[in-house]
Amino acid sequence: MKKPPAAAAFSLVELTLAIGVAALCLVTVVALVPVAALTNRNATSQTAATNIAALAIADLRAATTASPMLGITVPTDPTSPPQFVPPDVVPCNSGHTSITSQVRYFDSSGQANASFNSSSSLYRLTVTFVKNTTATATTGATYINVKVTWPAAIDPCAITASGSVEMFAALNRN
């Protein structure tokens, strides 16, 4: 007499190994979630800061004496800004941003404010006009250094900020 064929099944050892491999893979994926969240937050902050810097440069290009959106005063003589020349374009004075730079603060919706608000300010925009050593009083580009740092409460001259974006631009005023 023939025995009926045995039913195909996994043994307890095989099942335990399969669950162990699946658990190891799951733990690895879960461990990567905080890294992904941090990378996403940094990318979002960097994108917002780049947009703020681009907005500031576009606003200054549209200005004649003061920028229409941000209210930043533009010098009419490209040789008039102080002695700051590249690469020392964000002057510091005793651990604070120099008064020769103009500072604006931005909230999460991109609204600018001239003064710091601890409950809403996220980004600090620092605009410094740089002396054009090759220009004359009536001709030549106006140089600007635009730096956006976050969090806004930190003065980049006192403490290194969590992140920053910096752009240099020349405004043709001829």
Q: What is the span of the domain harbouring residue 93? A: 31-172
Mean pLDDT across the stretch 165-169?
90
pLDDT reading at 92 higher than 80:
no
Residue 157 included in any domain: yes
pLDDT averaged over every residue in the chain: 84
* pLDDT mean over 27-47: 93
Cα separation, 10 vs 19, in Å, equals 12
Domain-embedded: residue 134: yes
Our count of domains for the chain comes to 1
Position 86 scores a pLDDT of 53
Is 67 part of any domain?
yes
pLDDT (0 to 100) of residue 173: 63
pLDDT tens digits along 44-60 = 999 999 999 999 999 99
Residue 66, classed as helix, strand or coil, is strand
Is 11 contained in some domain? no
Q: With respect to residue 9, please indicate whether it lies within any of the assigned structural domains.
A: no
pLDDT interval class at 104 (50, 70, 90)? very high
Q: Say what the pTM is.
A: 0.78
Q: Could you tell me if residue 16 is inside a domain?
A: no
Question: Which pair of tokens denotes residue 138?
Answer: 């009536």
Report CA Rg, the chain: 28
Burial of 133 (0-12, 13-18, 19+ CB in 10 A): exposed
CA distances from 134 to 13, 110, 140, 141 (A): 80, 36, 7, 9
What's the pLDDT score for residue 79?
Answer: 67
Question: Is pLDDT at 4 greater than 60 in this prediction?
Answer: yes
Between 104 and 79, name the one with better pLDDT. 104
Q: Among 62, 100, 104, which Cα is nearest to 84's?
A: 100
Tokens 């902050």 sit on residue: 45
Q: With 0-12 CB in 10 A as exposed, 13-18 as middle and 19+ as buried, what is 40?
A: exposed
Each residue's pLDDT tens digit, 122-142 = 999 999 888 777 777 677 788
Q: How far is CA 167 from the centre of its chain?
A: 11
Could you give the CA distance from residue 76 to residue 64 in angstroms, rounded to a whole number?
8
Residue 36 has phi, psi (to 5 degrees) of: -65, -40
Cα angle 64, 66, 68 (rounded to 5 degrees) comes to: 95
| Of 28-37, 71-80, 116-125, minimum mean pLDDT range | 71-80
pLDDT-based confidence at residue 74 (cuts at 50, 70, 90):
confident
CA distances from 53 to 46, 77, 127 (A): 11, 23, 9
Residue 12 lies in a domain: no
**In the predicted model, is pLDDT for residue 28 greater than 90?**
yes
For the chain, give the number of residues: 174
Q: Is pLDDT at 83 greater than 70 in this prediction?
A: no
